[in-house]
C-alpha cells in the first residue's frame, strides 16, 4: 500500500537519501534500522510530507507525493496525513491538553466527529494502551512511557491505514521501554501496518516481519527480520550489529 520510488533528498552538499525504492504491503510490520545519519528518520518523514524531497515519488493508497514540498502537494498531503499516523521520538503531545484531549483533538477538528462519539472512542483507545486511569492528566504530569502510549492512542484515533514510528523508545528511561514495546506488539498482532525506525533489535527481530537496513541514504539489506538480524549478508550490517568479532 506504500510505494517509494527512487526517493532522493539532498541537504546542502550532503545526500541524505540516494535513490530509495521499496514497497510495503498492508499488514506488514517493518523495522528500519541502521547507523545514525543513514537516512531512516528522513525516509519516514518523507512518507507523510513532514520533509520535502528532491527526486522520486511516494504513493500511499491512491495519493502521490512529488518533489516540491507542501506547495506542490497541498491536496495530497492532507489526505496522506489522514491515512498514515505518526509517532515521534519526543512524543510531541499537545502540552495544553489532557491525555484524552490529545486523543480527541484531531477526530473532532479534522474529521468533525461529534464530541461525545470521539470521547467514547478516545477512552477506548486509552484503555487499549493501558492508560484509562490517566485520561485527565496533562503531558507534564506523565512519565515518558505514558506520554508515548498516549501519542500512539492519539495517532490511532484517526483510524490510519498505517503507522509511522520514529524511534518511539529512544527517549525513554530503560525501564519504560517495555511498556511501549508491549503496546506495539499488540498492535502488530492486530494486523496494523507499521514502519518503525528503531534501535531495539529485540523488537525488530521478534515483532517485525521485515527489516530494512539503511546506510548512506541507500537500502543495503532488506529481508525477513530474523534472517537479516541473525545472518546479515552485508558487511556494514554486520558492523552495525556488532557481529564482526564473532
| Sign of the dihedral defined by the CA atoms of residues 189, 84, 38, 58, in that order | positive
Label residues 51-67 b or e (16+ Cβ within 10 Å = b): bbbeebebbbeebebee
CB of 233 to other proteins, least distance (A): 34
- Residue 223 C-alpha cell reads as 529481508
From the CB of 154, what's the least distance to other proteins, in Å?
7
The residue with cell 552485508 is 234
Q: C-alpha angle 219/225/22, rounded to 5°?
A: 35
- Choose between 22 and 94: whose C-beta lies nearer to other proteins: 94
Q: Which residue in this structure is represented by grid cell 490510519? A: 160
CB-wise, 111 or 133, nearer to other proteins?
A: 111
Rounded to whole angstroms, how far apart are CA atoms 98 and 92?
13
Give whichever of 96 and 245 is closer to other proteins, judged by the CB atom. 96
Closest C-alpha among 201, 223, 204, 202 to residue 212: 223
| Of 85 and 168, CB closest to other proteins | 85
Residues 6+ apart with CB under 8 A from 150: 91, 93, 99, 102, 103, 126, 129, 131, 134, 139, 142
- Tell me whether residue 46 or residue 220 sits nearer to other proteins (CB atom): 46
Q: What is the smallest separation between the CB atom of 161 and other proteins, expressed in angstroms? A: 13
**By C-beta, is 140 or 246 nearer to other proteins?**
140
Q: How far apart are CB 43 and other proteins at their closest, in Å?
A: 15
Give the residues lining the site for other proteins (CB under 8 A).
48, 50, 78, 81-82, 85-86, 88, 90, 92-96, 105-106, 109-111, 138, 140, 151, 154-155, 158
Amino acid at each position: 500500500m506504500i510505494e517509494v520510488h527512487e526517493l532522493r533528498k539532498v541537504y546542502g552538499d550532503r545526500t541524505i537519501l540516494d535513490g530509495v525504492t521499496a514497497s510495503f504491503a498492508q499488514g506488514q510490520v517493518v523495522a528500519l534500522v541502521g547507523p545514525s545519519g543513514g537516512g531512516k528518520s528522513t525516509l519516514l518523514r518523507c512518507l507523510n510530507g513532514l520533509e520535502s524531497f528532491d527526486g522520486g515519488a511516494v504513493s500511499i493508497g491512491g495519493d502521490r507525493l512529488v518533489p516540491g514540498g507542501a506547495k506542490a502537494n497541498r491536496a495530497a498531503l492532507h489526505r496522506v496525513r489522514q491515512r498514515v499516523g505518526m509517532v515521534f521520538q519526543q512524543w510531541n503531545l499537545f502540552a495544553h491538553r489532557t491525555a484524552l484531549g490529545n486523543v480527541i483533538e484531531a477526530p473532532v477538528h479534522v474529521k468533525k466527529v461529534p464530541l461525545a462519539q470521539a470521547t467514547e472512542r478516545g477512552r477506548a483507545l486509552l484503555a487499549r494502551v493501558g492508560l484509562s486511569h490517566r485520561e485527565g492528566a496533562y503531558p507534564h504530569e506523565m512519565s515518558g512511557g505514558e506520554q508515548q502510549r498516549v501519542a500512539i492512542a492519539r495517532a490511532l484515533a484517526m483510524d490510519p491505514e498505517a503507522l509511522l514510528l520514529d524511534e518511539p523508545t529512544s527517549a525513554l528511561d530503560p525501564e519504560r521501554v517495555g511498556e511501549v514495546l508491549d503496546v506495539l506488539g499488540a498492535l502488530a498482532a492486530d494486523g496494523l501496518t507499521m514502519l518503525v525506525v528503531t534501535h531495539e533489535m529485540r523488537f525488530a527481530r521478534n515483532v517485525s516481519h521485515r527489516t530494512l537496513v539503511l546506510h548512506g541514504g541507500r537500502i543495503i539489506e532488506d529481508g525477513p527480520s530474523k534472517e537479516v538480524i541473525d545472518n546479515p549478508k552485508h558487511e556494514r550490517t554486520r558492523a552495525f550489529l556488532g557481529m564482526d568479532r564473532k
